[in-house]
Structure formats: structure tokens, C-alpha cells
Amino acid sequence: MTVLLFLVPLALILGALGLAAFLWALGSSQYEDLEGAAARILADDDLKERAP
Amino acid sequence: MSVDLDYSSLAERRADGARRLDLALDGLTCAACVYEIEAALKSVPALRSARANYADRRLTLEWSDDTFAFPEVAERLRRMGYRARPFARADGEREAMETSRHLMRCFAVAAFAAVNVMLLSEAVWIGQWGDLDPATRDFFHGVSALIAIPASAYAGQPFFASAFAALRAGRLNIDVPITLGVLLALAMSVYETVVHAPHAYFDSAIMLLAFLLLGRWLDSAMRRKTRAVAANLAALRAPIARRIGADGARSAVPPSALAPGDIVEILPGERVPADGVILAGASKLDESLVTGETDHRAVGVGESVYAGSLAFDGALTMRVEAANGGSLIDEIERLVEEATAARSRYLQLADRVSRLYAPAVHVTAFATALVWLAAGASAHDALVAAIAVLIVTCPCALALAAPAVQVAASGALFRAGVLLERGDALERLAEIDTIVFDKTGTLTTPEPRLVDASSLDAELVALAARLAHSSSHPLARALAAGHPRAAPLDGARETRGEGVAAIVDGVEARLGGPRFCDLERESAACAARDPEASIVAFRHGERTAVLRLRQVLRPDAREIIAALEERGLRVIILSGDRIPAVETAARALRVAEWRGALKPADKVAWLETLRADGRKTLMIGDGLNDAPALAAAHVSLSPIDATQLTQAAADAVFLGESLAPIVEALDLATRARGLIRQNLTFAVLYNALAVPLAMAGLLTPLIAAAAMSGSSLLVTINALRAGRARRRAAFRAAPAAQLHGSEASA
């Protein structure tokens, strides 16, 4: 069972990374406009140069 | 409009020199339009960023140097069909946003911790029947402690702060037993871990926090959304003030930016943006929004005018005046203040229950310890039993019982077109037995309408409406509003104060005052028959029409009043308008109790009398003169067309032409109250089952966790029933579409 001494902290660290990522996203206002962001992803402004 | 809209002076200056301006957007109806707007604004010179927010219907502009020209942005938006109005983010809104975010951060931490602690706890529970050796169990408890203690310290902040504040003020609120339960559960679990005992309650403590935080976050998110929509509607409806600078230059500003001493110009058909004194010009004023009086008042130089009045036929120049203590506004503000102070602080049902609950729980725990000691148990065992009582009674279900219902119900209200301003309004709404209506603008439409259209030549009226689209006169605009699809006529010329004319099929068509159309005799006859109506004349060659416009009853007013009476409510009309006008309306609506010609203070006196009779009153009104009565009533509603001060005094605002949201709100409130009571009953039942177990010392962490989460889930699921839409085809006027749509442009 000594493997738990290694696995439990590892699992917790990975989970904490996910939590940190969520808190960062929340702090940088990424959840302020969910519907708008869903539509924005479809915009192809990065292809503008190739347009005629 | 002759003046460019320039709001750049309203921008907020940030630390790095950049300027930032928030705008409310009207016409934003699809999420994809967000991108369209941003793309269109990308090429505006000197604009650093334009970010549209679909959820809030807002646009934020940022620029850094002075070469930025706001009119360019306004013009591009206008061409795409959007209307943008600046608004000052209210302090309350910013605070609410911060609170909401903080709750979400706390919830995220608590949920993360709860999931992980639960995984470890499950291993321990299952291990009880298996071969889990004590060393591994202690290891799991230790890791749980390392997760749960810091997580609770962070995520528990909202509860700890509130409980501490209450205790310092010598009160008890629901957060006191929550805090006590969480802290004791953690402390006892740490002790048990240290002494290698089998039971630890880390999971209960942290899971409790996660559940409660989720409930509070939902509550605050719902409130924030309602408030944002209300602020947008207010910004879009606010008139634009045309300020004349010292150099004679005109600039358009929102009324909130006006300061005493500013000189403002008002054109016919515009609303007065602030209180002040007329410096030049004369006009008839429609003050129905201020006094409830439907007759127009002629004003001239030196007279006082009030925000919200409509200049009918003349241009005015006025100086904005600060409140000096003697004006109508001061009188009304004083009355509102008195009424608000007099309204005894309403104690919410959940608070009333928790006031009984907290002492009862603490006494039970204390008694448990005494009984155990008396029965000869060790101090340790007695303490463990007492703490177990406190843990299991930690009022999770109780704390969720009311807020969960309120969230679901205010969401349903939001969809029905009612925006709740105060959280406890729903509970108060369920208690009422009397409804007091204002007449002007509440039972009647706020804008005048064409009456008796069926007796007129429809083709001629349609032509008149097309012509009316070219006029800024309030009556013409009302006529045009009745025919929104009529195409404006080319080459229409408006003579201010007289009328508008255009050539149609080679013949001149004229719409305006009786003299302008040479119909004085016919108009006088018409006015004699219907003295309350305003007359507009129309002539197209030899074909003529005399149109009568006045405020008419809202289309479903009679139906709604009947529906309210059917529910056993006493309906009363209290109006500031002249007695004959009120009598006509009351008769048409079949309301037996009515009073006219009431001053604001008289309305408050009436409500006081009703209160003295033991009646709980819902006041519905829109005028400035209703504001004190709205504040004095048990609960109050106002239509979205009401003045700002009035809306601030009301507990909720409803949208749209129809009065149906009132019935909807009452029904929802009654239902919500029923559900809150069910939930509270359930929470008490849960305690009745769990407390004896804890007192007997039979409570294990497994039972505690199952009972707590089970009761919380049950209460929450029951609450969701408040939001379920009912099939009420008759009242499905879909005011929800107006929440963000074109309603504000009416």
C-alpha cells in the first residue's frame, strides 16, 4: 500500500492544477459572456488576408 | 437629430491613460452579432478595443488618444441597426459582480476539496468491512485534513464573516449555526485523527460548504442578471439631454451627467431630462408621468419643470436646478424617505425560522452532553455526542430551503417579464390581500393612442400615419407608433408647432393642428364630444379626418382586474388625475372603490389607513407622485415606463404593454411560498430523524454525509418546481422577448 503515499499526492496535485486553471479563467473574465464566446469561435477573421 | 451624439466625455479614465466607456446595446438579438459589431468597429481610427458582451447586451470601448471620434462609432452602430447608450455602472452592480465572483471562487475550492475528501472517505467507509489497516486509515484522514482545513478556511469566508458580524451586533443569523457546525466538525475530526480514532467528519464539513455556496452563488447570479437587464433598460430609455456649453456649442449627454447650473435645450416631443427653471420658450407640458394629471399645463419663462415631463408643442431652454427643499421633487423625496423608514423591516420566513432554530439546536447539544455525563459517560464521549448533534443539525437544508425556491421563482418571473429588485419581494407578494392601482400610465397606456379608429377611413389613417413618421410631435409619434410598418413619405416638411406636410399623388397632404389643416370647425365639434382627447387634423385634398388621441386603458386591463378579483383580492384605484377621468376608467373596469385628485401624501395616507385595517397592500404605480405610496405599501410594482425615482421605490418592475405579469407574479409568489414552507417542513423533519441518532451517539460519518447531502438535494429538487413554466396560453404575450429587444425603442 506504500504506493498510495505517492499516488494520492500526485492525484491531488493534478486536480489542484485543474482548479488553478479554472480560478485563473474566472479571474480573467472568461465566463462573463458564454453565448458570445460560443459564436466568436466561428469567426474566421484570421483568414482575412486570403480573402479576395 | 441636429447634434452629434458624443459620449466620449463620459469615459472613465484608467490608470494607464486609456479611456473606457460602457454602452448598453439595443437590438443585439443573436450571439453571432457580437462578432459582427466587433469586426465593424475594428477599423475605427484610434479605437484600441471594442468588446461586445452578448449575455449583458453591452459594449465596452477602449481608446487612448484624443483623436478618437465617438460619432464614428455611433454612426457605424446605427447603420447596422443597433442603438447604443452610455450608462454609469451603478455601485451596487459592481459590488454584486464582485460578490458573485467571490462566491464562485469559494464554491470552486469547496467543490474540489469535497470531491477529493469524499473519495478518501469512501475508501475508509468501505474499508470498515474489509481489511483496511489503521495506518492507511490514519493516512487517509491526514490527507483529508490537509485538504479540508485550508479549503474550509478559504471557502467558508462568506459564512464566517456574516456570522461574526451578526454575533458582534448581538444577533443570531443562519450563518452562526453553519459556522459553528463546520468549525466543530473540523476540530473534532482533527482530534480524532490525532488519537487514531475511526471516525472523522471532514467530508461533511466541506460538502456542506460546497452545497451552501452553490445555493448562494445561484442566488447572486440571478440577482445580478436581473439588475444588469434593468440597468440596460434604464440606460436605453433615459432621454438624451442637449446641453448648451458656455460657448454655445451643443453636446448630447445622458441626464445623469447633468449638473446644477447647466443650460439644456428641449425640443418639442422630448422629455425634460432634469428638474429646472425655464429660461426661454414656452410649451404645453404633459406631466402625466409626474403628477398623474392628464391635462396639459402651459409653462413659460421662470416656471419650474420636472424631469419626465413631455414638452408638447414648443422648444424650451432651461437651467438645471439642484433640489432646494421647496420643490415638488423634494416633497416627494421626503415622503419616500419617511415611508421607507416607517416600513418595518420585513423579516424573511427563513430568518424567522432560523431565529428559533439556532437556540434550539444549541440547547439540544448542551442537554445531550449533560445527559451523557449524568449517565456516567466520560467527558470525551459526552462531548463527542454533543458535537455530533451540532454537526448533524448544521442547517444545510434549512439554509437552502428558501433561497433555492427564490432562485427558481425569480428565474420564472424574469421570463414572465417581471424584474425583481428586492430579494424578499417574492415572499411579501404572496401575503397581499389588497391591490391599489394608479390610473394614469398604469391602468392606461403611458402613450396616447388613436381612439375610434374603426369609424375613420382606414386608408386615410394609414396615409396620415405615413406622414406622422416625419414629425417629432408627441401626438404624431403616437399615431406613427400605431403603424410601425408605414413607410415615411419622401419630401415631408415639418413646421414646428403647426404640422407636417408632403405631396402625395400630386395633392398636398397635411397633418397637424386644426388651423394648419383648415378643419377648425370640425375639430371643435369633435373636441366638444370628447373633452379628454387631443385632436390631430388630417387633410389630403378634399378628404379630411379628425383624429382623436388619448391614453386608453391597457388592452387586458379589464380581464386582469377580473382575474385579480376572482382571486379574492380587493382592488382599489387611487389616482392623482381629475375625478371625472378616474370615474370613467373605474366604471369601464368595473372597479367600485376609487379616489381621484389625490396628492402624493394623500395616497400614502390611504395606504396607512389600509394598513391600520390589517390589510397587506400591493401598490402598482408609475408616476413620480406614486413613489411615496410605492415605498409605503407592503410590496410594490411599477411598469418599466415609470420614472427613475419611482422604479427605485418599487420592489419589482414589469415589462410590456400587458398587465398579465402582475397576475403571473402573484401566482408564482403564492406557489413559491408553498414550496418554501414544504422545504422548511422537510428540513425540520430531517432534523427530527437525525438528532435522536446523534444524541444516542449512533451517528457515523457515513450517516452524517448521506443525511446531509440527501436532504440538501431533496430541498433543491423540490425548489426547481417553482420555475416550471405553466401552460397559460392566454397570458403568453412573450414579454421575455422584450427584455433585450426592441421594447426600449418604443
Task: Select from A16, A36, A45 the Cβ nearest to the Cβ of B55.
Answer: A36
**pLDDT for B248:** 77
How many residues does this entry show for chain A?
Answer: 52
DSSP SS3 for A1: coil
**pLDDT for B609:** 92
Tell me the average pLDDT of chain B: 83
pLDDT band at B132 (very low <50, low <70, confident <90, very high): confident
Are A39 and B52 inside 8 Å of each other by CB? no
Write the CATH number for B479: 3.40.1110.10
pLDDT band at B663 (very low <50, low <70, confident <90, very high): very high
**pLDDT for A14:** 94
Chain centroid, CA B605 distance in Å: 27
**pLDDT for B390:** 83
Are B136 and A4 inside 8 Å of each other by CB? yes
* Mean pLDDT in residue range B553-570: 91
Number of domains in chain B: 4
Same domain, B473 and B489: yes
Q: In the predicted model, is pLDDT for residue B734 greater than 50? A: no
Q: In the predicted model, is pLDDT for residue A16 greater than 80? A: yes
pLDDT band at B736 (very low <50, low <70, confident <90, very high): very low
Per-residue pLDDT tens for B3-42? 455 676 677 777 777 888 888 888 887 777 888 888 888 8
Q: Is any Cβ of chain B less than 8 angstroms from the Cβ of A24?
A: no
Chain A residue with minimum CA distance to B42: A45
Same domain, B73 and B155: no
Instruction: Count A/B contacts: CB-CB distance under 8 Å.
Output: 63
H or E segment and range at residue B286: strand B283-286
Q: Which of A36-50, B200-214, B460-474 is predicted most confidently?
A: B200-214
Among B499, B533, B550, identify where a domain stops. Answer: B550
Q: Which residues neighbour B207 within 8 Å (Cβ) at sequence distance 6 or greater? A: B114, B117, B118, B705, B708, B709
Least confident of B334-338, B555-559, B577-581: B334-338
Q: Max Cα separation, chain A?
A: 66
Q: Which residues neighbour B251 within 8 Å (Cβ) at sequence distance 6 or greater? A: B3, B6, B9, B242, B243, B245
Cell of residue B449, nine digits: 393612442
B578: left (phi over 0), alpha (psi -120 to 50) or beta: beta
Q: How far apart are CA B29 and CA B745, in angstroms?
A: 14
Cα three-residue angle B77-B79-B84, rounded to 5 degrees: 30
Same domain, B438 and B563: yes
Per-residue pLDDT tens for B50-108? 888 888 888 888 888 777 778 788 888 888 888 888 776 666 677 888 888 999 999 99
Per-residue pLDDT tens for B490-512? 778 888 777 888 888 888 888 88
Q: Is any Cβ of chain B less than 8 angstroms from the Cβ of A22?
A: yes
Same domain, B608 and B572: yes
Same domain, B559 and B651: yes
Same domain, B46 and B100: no
Least confident of B448-452, B651-655, B725-729: B725-729
Task: Select from A9, A12, A35 the Cβ nearest to the Cβ of B54.
Answer: A35
Q: In the predicted model, is pLDDT for residue B157 greater than 90? A: yes
Residue B28 falls within a domain, yes or no?
yes
Same domain, B507 and B422: no
pLDDT band at B726 (very low <50, low <70, confident <90, very high): low
Are B112 and A43 inside 8 Å of each other by CB? no
Cα three-residue angle B355-B356-B359, rounded to 5 degrees: 90
Residue B330 falls within a domain, yes or no?
no
Q: How far apart are CA B431 and CA B343, in angstroms?
A: 15
**pLDDT for B323:** 61
Residue B142 falls within a domain, yes or no?
yes
Chain B residue with minimum CA distance to A30: B53
Question: Which three-class secondary structure string do you get for B684-697?
Answer: HHHHHHHHHHHHCC
Q: How far apart are CA B56 and CA B22, in angstroms?
A: 11
Q: How far apart are CA B59 and CA B69, in angstroms?
A: 16
pLDDT band at B327 (very low <50, low <70, confident <90, very high): low
Q: Residue B402: name the closest of B424, B429, B432 by CA.
A: B424
Same domain, B232 and B136: yes
Are A40 and B34 inside 8 Å of each other by CB? yes
Residue listed under C-alpha cell 432554530: B357
Per-residue pLDDT tens for B380-390? 888 888 888 88
Question: Which three-class secondary structure string do you get for B344-397?
Answer: CCCCCHHHHHHHHHHHHHHHHHHHHHHHHHHCCCCHHHHHHHHHHHHHHCCCHH
Q: How far apart are CA B528 and CA B405, in angstroms?
A: 55
Q: Is any Cβ of chain A less than 8 angstroms from the Cβ of B32?
A: yes
Find out whether B410 and B420 touch, Cβ atoms under 8 Å: yes
Q: How far apart are CA B443 and CA B437, in angstroms?
A: 7
Q: Which residue range is the domain that position B504 belongs to?
A: 449-550
Per-residue pLDDT tens for B188-246? 899 989 998 888 889 988 988 998 898 889 888 888 888 788 778 877 777 778 888 88
Same domain, B504 and B609: no
Same domain, B78 and B218: no
DSSP SS3 for A15: helix
ipTM higher than threshold 0.90: no
Write the CATH number for B80: 3.30.70.100
β-strands B635-639, B617-620: how paired?
parallel
Find out whether B511 and B471 touch, Cβ atoms under 8 Å: yes
The neighbouring-strand residues paired with B638 are B653
Residue B377 falls within a domain, yes or no?
no
Cell of residue B28, nine digits: 443585439
Q: In the predicted model, is pLDDT for residue B604 greater than 70? A: yes
Q: How far apart are CA B53 and CA B59, in angstroms?
A: 6
**pLDDT for B4:** 55
**pLDDT for B187:** 92
Q: In the predicted model, is pLDDT for residue B152 greater than 80? A: yes
Residue type, B251: S
Q: How far apart are CA B273 and CA B311, in angstroms?
A: 11
Q: Residue B402: name the closest of B368, B381, B426 by CA.
A: B426
Write the CATH number for B432: 3.40.50.1000
Give contacts of B 45-64 with A, CB under 8 A. Answer: 52-56
Chain centroid, CA B3 distance in Å: 32
Find out whether B624 and B645 touch, Cβ atoms under 8 Å: yes
Looking at per-residue pLDDT, the higher value among B650 and B355 belongs to: B650
Residue type, B671: R
Are A32 and B34 inside 8 Å of each other by CB? no
Least confident of A3-7, A20-24, B306-310: B306-310
For residue B366, what are the CA distances in angstroms to B181, B185, B371, B382, B389? 14, 16, 9, 10, 9
Chain B hits for A19, CB-CB cut-off 8 Å, are: 108-109, 112
Are B34 and A16 inside 8 Å of each other by CB? no
* Mean pLDDT in residue range B362-375: 90
DSSP string over B607-676 = HHHHHHTT--EEEE--SGGGHHHHHHSSEEEEETTS-HHHHHHSSEEE-SS-SHHHHHHHHHHHHHHHHH
Exposed (0-12), middle (13-18) or buried (19+): which is B186, by Cβ within 10 Å?
buried
Same domain, B437 and B564: yes
Residue B282 falls within a domain, yes or no?
no
Among B86, B107, B134, identify where a domain stops. Answer: B86
Residue B263 falls within a domain, yes or no?
no
Q: Which residues neighbour B649 within 8 Å (Cβ) at sequence distance 6 or greater? A: B336, B340, B627, B628, B630, B631, B636, B638
Chain A hits for B112, CB-CB cut-off 8 Å, are: 15-16, 18-19
Question: Which three-class secondary structure string do you get for B288-330?
Answer: HHHHCCCCCEEECCCCEECCCCEECCCCEEEEECCCCCCCHHH
Residue type, B552: V
Q: What is the strand order of the sheet B283-286 is part of? A: B297-299, B283-286, B310-311
Residue type, B407: V
pLDDT band at B594 (very low <50, low <70, confident <90, very high): very high
Residue type, B110: A
**pLDDT for B111:** 95
Q: How far apart are CA B212 and CA B210, in angstroms?
A: 6
- Percentage with pLDDT > 70 across chain B: 94
Same domain, B508 and B568: no
**pLDDT for B728:** 47
**pLDDT for B342:** 67
* Mean pLDDT in residue range B617-625: 89
Q: Which residues neighbour B61 within 8 Å (Cβ) at sequence distance 6 or greater? A: B11, B20, B21, B23, B41, B47, B49, B50, B73
- Which residue pairs, CB below 8 angstroms and at least 24 apart, start in B16-20? B16/B64, B17/B64, B18/B48, B18/B62, B18/B63, B18/B64, B19/B62, B19/B63, B19/B64, B19/B68, B20/B60, B20/B61, B20/B62
Residue B508 falls within a domain, yes or no?
yes
Q: Is any Cβ of chain A less than 8 angstroms from the Cβ of B139?
A: yes
Q: Is any Cβ of chain B less than 8 angstroms from the Cβ of A42?
A: yes
Are B56 and A45 inside 8 Å of each other by CB? no
Q: Which residues neighbour A24 within 8 Å (Cβ) at sequence distance 6 or greater? A: none
Per-residue pLDDT tens for B399-419? 888 888 888 888 888 888 898
Among B197, B215, B236, identify where a domain stops. Answer: B236
Are A42 and B105 inside 8 Å of each other by CB? no
Chain B hits for A30, CB-CB cut-off 8 Å, are: none
Q: How far apart are CA B630 and CA B355, in angstroms?
A: 29
Q: Is any Cβ of chain B less than 8 angstroms from the Cβ of A5?
A: yes
Per-residue pLDDT tens for B267-286? 887 888 888 889 888 888 88
Q: How far apart are CA B682 and CA B688, in angstroms?
A: 10
Residue B133 falls within a domain, yes or no?
yes
